[in-house]
Amino acid sequence: MVRTITTERIPIKLWLDDIEEGAMQQARDIANLPFAARHVAIMPDAHQGFGMPIGGVLATRGVVIPNAVGVDIGCGMCALRTSLTRFSRSDLGRVVDRIRTSIPVGFKHHSQPGKDLLPAIETRLPVVEREFNSATYQVGTLGGGNHFIELQKGSDGYLWIMVHSGSRNLGKQVADHYYREAVKLNEKEGKKKEIPRQLAALPVDSDIGRLYLNEMQYCINFAFASRRRMIDAVSEIIAGYFKNVVFNDFINIAHNFASDETHFGERLMVHRKGATSAKKDERCIIPGSQGTSSYICRGKGNPESFQSCSHGAGRVMGRKQAQKLLDLKKERRWLDEKGVIHSLLNKKDLDEATSAYKDINRVMKLQEDLVEIVTELQPLAVVKG
């Protein structure tokens, strides 16, 4: 931890030394919520989000805040190790070409539904039920933004597959619906001035609060099923090019969710928005930006971060800012010189250029008290939406 701010209702504990003012103001806002508990933890990849900083961890008493989870509920990472230790760039190029034709990206969906891949709906889930049919075509699709499929060379010598994706439109619909419900409830109870609109909350012991938590959990399960389908598809493609390849050491984590947990001897609702659980000896995945290292880590269970760590490198530029300010030729040349098969093709892709993100080495240094690095993964090929 770098420093603690004690000017607000509860302390703000920072694992970075250069937080932007917008994110800092959001940290102050959540620290002053009447139901915020113990302290706020801000991870080293933090940057401004909607209502709460991305890279923030907030514990609350008795309520859940939809915008402290975010619109991409259950967004997270999967990683899978292959038995391959020898492969050429041309081999990987062929694999990437197949991935691009097999897995829909951006706004594209599968042509056939994947209903059998989705978890059963076992309780009343009004938004999920409304969106279920569309979701069957979206499971196993990458989406856009910072989501990716990456082939990596591990410090253990093996080829790894990594997937970063979320709950697609399903999560957004759930998030938007319950955010509106939270706003209406807070205004009805006269909390409009006390609680900022973007941080409107739902009581966890209310019908609407329980509904949100159940729908949130379904979105987490959907996001995992979607990542699993993609990583299985990539595995099949690799197995088609390399004989006798074995896949093992599968890891899955989420970094947008709320969880009922016990910290400091008290049951709390812990919101992680762009933050990863890092309990003692728990395995974590921390990706870098396009062209930089990613990491398989082991959590240290630091209580001061509510046993959490960063979810990645974190942005230093907004998307439109990066597209306006960064040099496409320079960014492409840097990736080409590293030998990375990348997805930086046009000026619009600059929002995902390496320079739009923080230095992952610095981010990892700042959280040495949160995680231990197990395997460093160097990028070889990247597919993005």
Domain ranges for the chain: 3-316+357-384, 318-356
pLDDT at res. 58? 98
Query: How far apart are alpha carbons 353 and 329 in whole angstroms?
Result: 11
CA nearest neighbour of 201 among 15, 35, 385: 35
Q: What is the pTM of this model?
A: 0.96
Query: How far apart are alpha carbons 22 and 50 in whole angstroms?
Result: 10
Alpha helices in 242-308 (DSSP H): none
pLDDT at res. 193? 75
pLDDT at res. 45? 98
Token pair 């923080």 is at which residue? 358
pLDDT at res. 281? 98
| Tokens (6 digits) for 186 | 């807070």
pLDDT at res. 311? 98
Topology (CATH level 3) of domain 3-316+357-384: tRNA-splicing ligase RtcB (3.90.1860)
Report the catalytic residues.
311
**Residues of the chain under the 70 pLDDT cut:** none
Residue 379: its H or E element: strand 371-384
C-alpha 195 chain-centroid distance? 26
Burial of 235 (0-12, 13-18, 19+ CB in 10 A): middle
CA dihedral 40, 45, 46, 48 (to 10 degrees): -160
Query: How far apart are alpha carbons 36 and 31 in whole angstroms?
Result: 6
